Chains A and B, each alone.
Chain A
């Protein structure tokens, strides 16, 4: 399967992973990765918003005037985020309360605006949908990796299931803000190191 649709999906997960490669959307990634549960739902919401914003923007790219394209993007994205926000409030009030302000803040998430501007505005509907889905999936995978490390070290558990027992000396700092910076920084460093070695070979 080496066509452009498949490439658009895998590109978001590996080549241009939003969090680990483009380092976009770091602010919500620091806040919502205290537990794998939070990261999973945050990731799902981003996939939804990103896929559909890419679809709508690609559909309307011929009629949106160039000068007001950013406000137009924001209106489309904000509409989708409102849908997600209300949906979460109605069906998952607990998760809605945990993620709090970071759900409405998806509107200003750099990844979504960046993909709208650099991809959906210039490409067809179906390939844009694939790109949005791939990027969202890449973001979710990255969130889950960061949160898995943080939850395991900071709480001794994974997805809320206690793995390491009550005697594990959980490092509280890992589920606090500094833990997010430490984890993300180390992962970025390791990825950078590995890719620079690959290039050198």
Chain B
């Protein structure tokens, strides 16, 4: 937080060279390949979606901060990340106004109304997506296949309605490189993983949350999915697990800060995702699972705060 000049803390005083701006820059770098793949598969319309979402996220942030007489902080890049993530969470066939509306909702209601960057209690982009899914369910679930733009179903939706013939499901290779129906930025597991590795290498995100999330999804669906490790692999590659676990669940503000808490948080996200996918009424549960765990994050933190140095456990 740049505006908080005076921070009083006990030792050790370690200065980190990481600034908000730098972190956001790295996140954008990691996201751009996945977004580019989305544009490659879903044509120029995907690019328009992405740009509109980013533009309106930044504009609303500036507008709100101006209206409430706060310093305008659009230069820190957090609004760009929110807009980009939101755009990547849209199906390409959705009407073009939906990105701007979602971006405005994310910034005004979820971020600025609670005090701006660092104070949002859940991930703004995801909360906006959940709102739009509830508001315009038809527009938000109209999927098209890559390249030809014909109406199709996502692999998860095919699973949900029951497989009529074995050829309906895409091959694992297509799911891995992203040649399937889905949101603009969620289809290609390959580039999302590359982005994730880059962020972990740069120490922007902690490996614990994505790892716990993916492992839980894989194991849970292997046991309960009905098809052994096939189900596990399928559920890992389908839908938004990659995008969600690497880029959304790891949001600093709305995820726990303690290492043990992060394991619990990731496992919780994975469990809820799979519960919704296997037995819920929605085909996909990534956004809702992360939002629910966002709300649980303060509680997790409370129970996993490490002991202070020299502290002795209270005798009962």
Contact = CB atoms under 8 A, between A and B. Distances in A.
Interface in A182-201: 182, 186, 189, 193
A173 interface: yes
Q: Interface of chain A, helix or strand or loop or mixed?
A: helix
A174 B109 contact: no
Nearest to B133: A173
A169 B134 contact: no
Given A182-B109, A186-B109, A193-B68, A173 B134 contact: yes
A65 interface: no
A171 B135 contact: yes
Interface in B67-108: 68, 95, 97
A189 B114 CA distance: 11
A172 B139 CA distance: 12
B136 interface: yes
A43 B131 CA distance: 29
Q: Interface of chain B, helix or strand or loop or mixed?
A: helix
B137 interface: yes
A179 to B, nearest CB: 8
Given A169-B95, A193-B68, A174 B113 contact: no
Nearest to A189: B113
Contacts of B139: 169
Nearest to B69: A197
A165 interface: no
A100 B11 CA distance: 61
A11 interface: no
Contacts of B95: 169
A178 interface: yes
A26 interface: no
A173 B127 CA distance: 13
Nearest to A171: B135
Nearest to B108: A186
A174 B135 CA distance: 7
A178 B109 CA distance: 13
A176 B136 CA distance: 12
Contact of B131 (A169, A173, A189, A193): A173
Contacts of A189: 113
A8 B135 CA distance: 41
A176 B134 contact: yes
Contacts of B131: 173, 178
Given A176-B134, A178-B134, A193-B68, 9 more contacts: A169-B97, A169-B139, A172-B134, A172-B135, A172-B136, A172-B137, A173-B135, A182-B109, A186-B109
Interface of B: 68, 95, 97, 109, 113, 131, 134-137, 139
A-B pairs, top 3 by smallest CB distance, nearest first, are A171-B135, A173-B134, A173-B135
